[in-house]
Amino acid sequence: MRRSSKCSVLFLASVLFSMPGPVIGQTGGDDSDAHFTRARALAAQAKLPEATEEMRRAVRLAPKRADLHDALGTLLVQRNELSAASTEFEKALQLNPGLASAHLHLGVLQFEARHFEPAEHHLAQANQLAPGNFLVLNYLGRTLREVGKSPDAIAAFQSSLQIQPHQPEILNLLGQSLQRAGNPVEAAEAFRRIRRARARERKDLTPGNLSPIL
């Protein structure tokens, strides 16, 4: 899988989705949770080699825990080891096909590699398993747009904007998709919303609206 220049930026936000803590009921009376916790702490300090090694220890102790394979994959992505990360996400899904975060992560990797058919599959699965997740809807809309499914892409972008209404990039993608689908009036309104969203951002950044640093 080729490295994408966008992946390192866009993927990092999804790491938060995949590492909420040990999954209840999957512990096996070993030290895997302790290694998992240490790995998260090290990752928060940007000590990725040490965090990755701790997560590998957790996986070795509990190789049948899908959440650990998924978490290891997110660390490998941050180290740009995308092929190894993809393998970990696939292992996670073999162990637990219902793990929404692994579907999301594998879908993002496939999207960034421009493998849109498998990306659509995994992102649609993530959306079914974790409906209402902004990042899932964001990437699902992007993928559907790439494969020419404008009505479905529009629905995904609109759903994501219900969660975070003032996102210029998503509004732009929505407007483009509406134009492609032959809805110029609705597209124009989406583009007007971009201007309002940017004006809102500028207003929020004016000195009178900035909170003091304590």
pTM: 0.82
Could you read off the pLDDT of 171-190 as tens digits, one per residue? 999 999 999 999 999 999 99
Residue 160 near residue 137, CB atoms below 8 Å: yes
123: number of Cβ within 10 Å? 29
The pLDDT, as a whole number, for residue 141 is 97
Tell whether the model's pLDDT for residue 59 goes beyond 70: yes
What is the longest distance spanned by two Cα atoms in the chain? 60
Ordered structural domains, the chain, with CATH = 1-130 (1.25.40.10), 131-205 (1.25.40.10)
The pLDDT, as a whole number, for residue 13 is 45
Question: Measured in Å, how far apart are the chain's first and last C-alpha atoms?
Answer: 46
